[in-house]
Structure formats: C-alpha cells, structure tokens
Structure 1
Amino acid sequence: MQINKDRDWEALYLANDTFWDHGEASPGLVDYL
C-alpha cells in the first residue's frame, strides 16, 4: 500500500482495513513496559 494524503484513514481504521494495526502491542514495547 502506498501512502496517499487523500486516503480517508479514519474510514480505513473503522473498516478494519489497516496494515499497521496487528491487534497487539509490539514485542519491544511489551518488553519495555
């Protein structure tokens, strides 16, 4: 997916069509906390 300023990021998030959200915290963040 190419980043595009014209994308409706809110609509993508609400439709669960996101490449960045894996449903859990990153392992590095978990280790840090």
Structure 2
Amino acid sequence: MDCGLLFSKNWLESQICYINNSGLDIVSGVCD
C-alpha cells in the first residue's frame, strides 16, 4: 500500500468494520 495515498473516512470505517467482522488480528497499512 502506498503511504502517499489519501483515503476517505469511509475507507477507514470499512477497514475497521472488516477487521471487526473477520475477527482476525489484522495490521493495516495506514501510515501516520
């Protein structure tokens, strides 16, 4: 994943929702 890309809040919410629904310990590629 390119840390230079900007993502909408919708993308972040989708990632959180996916992680919560999957029940897996997923480390996202989001850079601070």
| TM-score (norm: length of structure 1) | 0.27
Greater fraction helix: 2
Query: For the pair shown, which has the larger CA radius of gyration, 1 or 2?
Result: 1
| TM-score (norm: length of structure 2) | 0.27
